[in-house]
Amino acid sequence: MDPILIDTLTQIPAPVDSTSIFIAALADSLVATKMALAETRSTLQASTDQNSFTVNNLWMMIATSLVFIMHLGFATLESGLTRAKNTTNVLFKNTVIPAIGLLTYALIGFNLMYPGADFAGGFFGFSGFGLPLPEGGETSNYNPGYTYWTDFLFQGMFAATCATIVSGAVAERIKLTSFLLFSVVFVAIVYPILGMWKWGGGWLQVLGFHDFAGSTLVHSIGGWGALAGTMLLGPRLGKFEKGRIYPIPGHSMTSAVIGTFMLWLGWFGFNGGSVLSADPALVSKVLVTTCIAASAGAVLAALTIYFVSKNFDLSMTLNGILAGLVAITAGADVTSVTDSFLIGSVAGIVVVFAVLMFDKLKIDDPVGALSVHLVCGIWGTLAVGVFGSKAGVPQFLNQSIGVIAIGAAAFGSALLIFLAVKAVAGLRVSKDEEIYGLDAGEHGMEAYPNFLTK
């Protein structure tokens, strides 16, 4: 107690009840202190919240940029594994698809995939066209992890990857306009609706299906589209002739390696961003499981192809990296390091035999997109029921239901779209154009015009 206060109180003349005055004064000062403290605390709390919101949103924007650079990865990988005469065509497709994907996602895709609780049904929901900023969309009231704008752009970058997967499998023989027609419909309607089943709060989410960053929702959907495309198109000229399978080597291993590493880098954002906040523990763990699976896929694919053909095939090793990455994408958040190693290893082995299998089935896939994205996407999704904290028979069944349902819907709708495009515009370039190269036929320009000096 303040000695001066005591002094003052004791000097006050008798009739006044000094004790009650003293108690009242004390109570007042206590209340004031308490209020000041509460105010400081709430200001501190608010600024901590604001700081963590800023950090979360910053990480999500970095992750968005990393997913964006994956499109450069797809472009270089696909052009490297195809022939020089089709390089401009492959690069052109990989250039316009992200652009088309972002535009359609802004127009309808985002609102089809994340319609919000008011509009979401089990299978379909649509909350209107365009990108109207919701109430508080730029603050942490929208989501503690990101703003509305970050949300849109991050998910939009995912959408375009789905159509890019198709482009590699159908390369070197599909008409450019037909492919673009297919891509617009596929990325604008099919991908968002199927994605909504899980990530938009649809029936697969209710069921308990687990797909962390999209082994099924992104990679398998793209893979099923690619399968429909390759089946309808048929193989490239000269691939299967007189009962033999002739390899058609890609024109630049350097380009393929650059693309693969670019994709690996992008996966830091693809999986790391799918945490949907900058949660230090989960983000760093997800990056570790992602990289361990990629490394295991690379080593096991290299060894497997060596046992098959007595050669260390670089293109197959690159496919092994991507196989590991695709496989771990479904369970990067729920698996341990050992689990991720096993998932990646199996993916590295499976991808090699899948490539050989598709060749046996006379399905021509120049870059191995089916083996990587479809087969290992399925494997990774099922692996969530086998490895990690969610493992168990019920989860495995849920994963299987998800794989089958999404597979049937994606393959069926891709087949329908391709058939419709075939009826309207045809699918395949002429035999002459295929032999001469799609660079000349579709674009009137070569990727490497100065091989003959002037």
Q: Which residues bind other proteins (CB under 8 A)?
A: 245-247, 249, 305, 308-311, 313, 315-316, 352, 355-356, 359, 368
Which residue's CB is nearer to other proteins, number 315 or number 413?
Answer: 315
Which residue's CB is nearer to other proteins, number 180 or number 351?
Answer: 351
∠ Cα 275 281 286 (to 5°)? 50
> Least CB distance from residue 191 to other proteins, whole Å?
28
> Least CB distance from residue 295 to other proteins, whole Å?
21
Say if CB 78 and CB 368 are below 8 A apart.
no
Which residue's CB is nearer to other proteins, number 247 or number 444?
Answer: 247
| Integer Cα distance of 234 and 255 in angstroms | 26
DSSP per-residue codes, 65-95: HHHHHHHHHHHHHHHHTS-GGGHHHHHHHHH
Which residue's CB is nearer to other proteins, number 10 or number 311?
Answer: 311
> Least CB distance from residue 85 to other proteins, whole Å?
16
Which residue's CB is nearer to other proteins, number 298 or number 355?
Answer: 355
DSSP state letter for 241: E
> Least CB distance from residue 366 to other proteins, whole Å?
10
Q: Taking the CA of residue 264 as centre, how many other CA atoms within 13 Å lie in the half-sphere pointing to its CB?
A: 22
Say if CB 196 and CB 119 are below 8 A apart.
no
> Least CB distance from residue 290 to other proteins, whole Å?
25
| Integer Cα distance of 72 and 59 in angstroms | 21
CB atoms within 10 A of CB 134: 12
CB atoms within 10 A of CB 169: 30
Instruction: Report CA-CA distances (Å) from 385 to 206, 257, 341, 400.
Output: 17, 32, 16, 9
Helix (H/G/I), strand (E/B), else coil: 172: coil
> Least CB distance from residue 448 to other proteins, whole Å?
17
Which residue's CB is nearer to other proteins, number 213 or number 354?
Answer: 354
DSSP tally for the chain: helices H, then strands E? 18, 2
| Integer Cα distance of 145 and 444 in angstroms | 47
Place of tokens 């497709």: 93
Which residue's CB is nearer to other proteins, number 123 or number 246?
Answer: 246
Which residue's CB is nearer to other proteins, number 15 or number 249?
Answer: 249
> Least CB distance from residue 173 to other proteins, whole Å?
18
Copy the structure tokens of residue 300. 């096991």
> Least CB distance from residue 355 to other proteins, whole Å?
6
Which residue's CB is nearer to other proteins, number 300 or number 342?
Answer: 300
Which residue's CB is nearer to other proteins, number 251 or number 285?
Answer: 251
> Least CB distance from residue 368 to other proteins, whole Å?
7
Place of tokens 């046992």: 307
> Least CB distance from residue 249 to other proteins, whole Å?
5
Say if CB 429 and CB 441 are below 8 A apart.
yes
Q: Which of 352, 360, 359 is nearest to 376 (CA)?
A: 352
Distance of CA 99 to the CA centre of its chain: 16
